[in-house]
Amino acid sequence: MSGEHEDTGEAREAAPTGLSETDRAVLAFAARGWPSAGAKERAIRERLGMSPVRYYQLLNALLDDPRAARTDPVTVNRLRRAREERRERTR
């Protein structure tokens, strides 16, 4: 049988955006609003299965990834602006 049908579901799923399933989940999660930091951290652990520190590491990397900006430009641009404002306040 030809190798063209041997790709994994992950590869097929990631093809349209170039982002992994985890990357897309982090972006979707970031697009939501949360009533409190505690609720958000709890949801990160429960829904994404990772620590809040890991979530923010992945999210920060995604904000610099052009594929993420093409996938969800509204969320990425909003978060880039917020990140830049935080950096300006700490300078």
Q: What is the pLDDT of residue 78?
A: 97
Q: Is residue 79 situated within a structural domain? A: yes
Q: Is residue 15 situated within a structural domain? A: no
> What range does the domain containing 56 cover?
23-90
Q: Report the distance separating Cα 64 and Cα 83, nearest Å.
A: 11
- Which pTM does this prediction carry? 0.77
Q: Is residue 69 situated within a structural domain? A: yes
Structural domain count, the chain: 1
Q: What is the pLDDT of residue 26?
A: 97
Angle between helices 21-31 and 73-90 (to 10 degrees): 70
Q: Is residue 62 situated within a structural domain? A: yes
User: In Å, how far are 9, 10, 15, 25, 78 from 2, measured between CA atoms?
Assistant: 17, 19, 19, 32, 44
Under-50 pLDDT residues of the chain: 1-14
